[in-house]
Structure 1
Amino acid sequence: MAPVTGSRQSESGVARLLGSGSAGIAELMVFHPVDTTTKRLMSHQSRITSLSALNKVVFREYASAGTGKKFTSLFPGLGYAAAYKVMQRIYKFSGQAYVRDFLTAHFTPQFTATFGAGTGKAMLSATAGSLIGIGEIILLPLDVLKIKRQTNPEAFRNRGFLKIVGDEGMGLYRGAGWTAARNAPGSFALFGGSAWAKEKVFKLEDYNKATWGQNFVASICGAAASLIVSSPLDVIKTRVQNKNFENPESGMRILANMVKNEGIGSFFKGLTPKMLMTGPKLVFSFWLAQTLIPAFGKVV
């Protein structure tokens, strides 16, 4: 069986930084209102039975306002979102590549022996994604503040960033366990689904040789798999994070209340808008990063 090592051309650190950072900025500019809409739907804890009710859930106090005010109301927490999203994409898309390179250099024989040459390479990429996804909790405070701004702005009570950090301390890492539990399978599916498509559908030996169209299809496969796999834990994570700072609620209590009061289907709340709206966001940023990183690698 052919080894995985040498089947791809590694990119420079600068190329990874520029490609992933550019993808994060572009995603933020296009999709922040979509992210706000999804988070508000996921946080809503009763059935939405009419368009009027949906309007109130999404736009809140601006439900009766004009189109312009409604649109701008979907941009709360943009500063936190900018810091979080750009750092997250740099960490995730660049970091996965470094972990993948490490696994390739040290564990290629094990992956090849277990899964075969082609599938082993895809599984190695997926495993690197899962490991980097778990470590993503280091950015959790920025994610918490972004979500609270989007879904529960009352929690800020006119406090600035430094005041909140001083007041809350490690409380900003509330939900870290649920975040790691969501990220591990979600990132595994994202990078694994993309690698599977490149390996099995397009028969690529070097994933960096994928065309923009092949990267786009591979990103769809990875994003769809990631959203479906991570949805139940993502709902719990969002509800843990959007509570008031002084009135937290544990993930297990939220889980129990969801089963008791809302049923199993509640674990997939927001999945449809996530697939329709967040899905394209993830596809867009992942496709852009996969396309730009090799492109920057040719010039830097």
Structure 2
Amino acid sequence: MSPPSSSDKKQSAAARVLGSASAGICEIAVFHPVDTISKRLMSNHTKITSGAQLNSVIFRDHAKEAFGKRLFTLFPGLGYAACYKILQRVYKYGGQPFANEFLTKNFSDTYESYFGKKTGKALLSASAGSLIGIGEIVLLPLDVLKIKRQTNPESFKGRGFVKIIQDEGLGLYRGWGWTAARNAPGSFALFGGNAFAKEYIFGLSDYTSASWYQNFVASIFGASSSLIVSAPLDVIKTRIQNRNFENPESGFTILKNMAKNEGITSFFKGLTPKLLTTGPKLVFSFALAQTLIPAFDTLLK
């Protein structure tokens, strides 16, 4: 086997963990309210026709309160969100480089023979992202609890975290198949779009040498691609997870009912606000992680 075509600089594991965790902390501090709005819009089953109805969907029972008080209602599940987001970003942004190095070492010749050197390298990065995305389901319980706190707090009924874990057990992994089905193409598009931008727009041979501006632009391509590709499955996943614990519904049932009662466009509910809200959040954290990991690597040497 010939030497791998990738010339990306390898950072230490500590740098990858610290850089990714820092990005996750910054992301949750800035964007948690935005995430709550997006999840509530995706969980809404009716067509929004007025500003008053939009206000009701977003703020629920607090829709008529003063604006300042309404804003504080957008922070439910912050503890779950912080745990989930930091672990997710460490796993995803810190883990993808390891998967990429493994695939590059073992399959670079195959990718290059089929797709060429530049495209093959970008697709290796995308494939590594897809593998990492599938494995992300191990964090699913935290995601489920975060979404329920954001969209269906009644399902907790006064129970704490430990009590819910004891009561629900593996039920917290409900929707894992749909989550994996969403994450595989979504993460492929995220890391693939990012890699293609660095390869073909900026002509970088070492992706880790990208400047903040280059990471930011490349992250826009990756994040936009990921959100569009994963949108239909993300809506189904969210609806599976936000139902009451005692009243689950399968993904296929949700899919059938959505197509029958709400039409095909329902699978893209929340996409526009997601591109405008979750998009910047993902761009922010992805670009920040890609910038901080090499910076931490330099500091730790």
Question: What TM-score do you get using the length of structure 2 for normalisation?
Answer: 0.98
Residue number in structure 2 paired with 1:106: 106
1:4 to partner: Cα distance: 3.9
Counterpart Cα distance in 2 of 1:46 and 1:188: 32
- Report the AA paired with residue 179 of structure 1: T
Residue number in structure 1 paired with 2:196: 196
Residue number in structure 1 paired with 2:74: 74
1:295 to partner: Cα distance: 1.0
Deviates more, 1:4-13 or 1:257-266: 4-13
What whole-Å deviation, never above 9, does each CA across 1:204-241 have from its counterpart, x for those lacking one? 00001111100000000000000000000000000000
1:3 to partner: Cα distance: 5.5
- Check conservation: 2:4, 2:108, Cα contact below 8 A: yes
Q: 1:30 aligned to 2:38?
A: no
What whole-Å deviation, never above 9, does each CA across 1:142-195 have from its counterpart, x for those lacking one? 000000000000000000000000000000000000000000000000000000
Residue number in structure 1 paired with 2:15: 15
Residue number in structure 2 paired with 1:184: 184
Residue number in structure 2 paired with 1:44: 44
Indicate the SS of the match to 2:299. coil
Indicate the SS of the match to 1:243. coil
What whole-Å deviation, never above 9, does each CA across 1:95-123 have from its counterpart, x for those lacking one? 11110011111111111111111111000
Residue number in structure 2 paired with 1:148: 148
Q: 1:285 aligned to 2:285?
A: yes
Where do 5+ consecutive residues of structure 2 fail to align? none
Q: Which runs of structure 2 are paired with 1:114-125 in the superposition (5 Å)?
A: 114-125=114-125
- Report the AA paired with residue 81 of structure 1: A
Question: What TM-score do you get using the length of structure 1 for normalisation?
Answer: 0.98
Indicate the SS of the match to 1:299. helix
What root-mean-square deviation, in Å, do the aligned CA atoms of Structure 1 and Structure 2 show? 0.9
- Report the AA paired with residue 195 of structure 1: A
Indicate the SS of the match to 1:64. coil
Identity %: 68
Indicate the SS of the match to 1:298. helix
Where do 5+ consecutive residues of structure 1 fail to align? none
Q: 1:83 aligned to 2:99?
A: no
Counterpart Cα distance in 1 of 2:87 and 2:283: 18
Counterpart Cα distance in 1 of 2:274 and 2:35: 8
Counterpart Cα distance in 1 of 2:288 and 2:66: 34
Residue number in structure 2 paired with 1:157: 157
Q: Which runs of structure 2 are paired with 1:143-292 in the superposition (5 Å)?
A: 143-292=143-292
- Check conservation: 1:4, 1:117, Cα contact below 8 A: no
- Check conservation: 1:5, 1:105, Cα contact below 8 A: no
1:6 to partner: Cα distance: 4.6
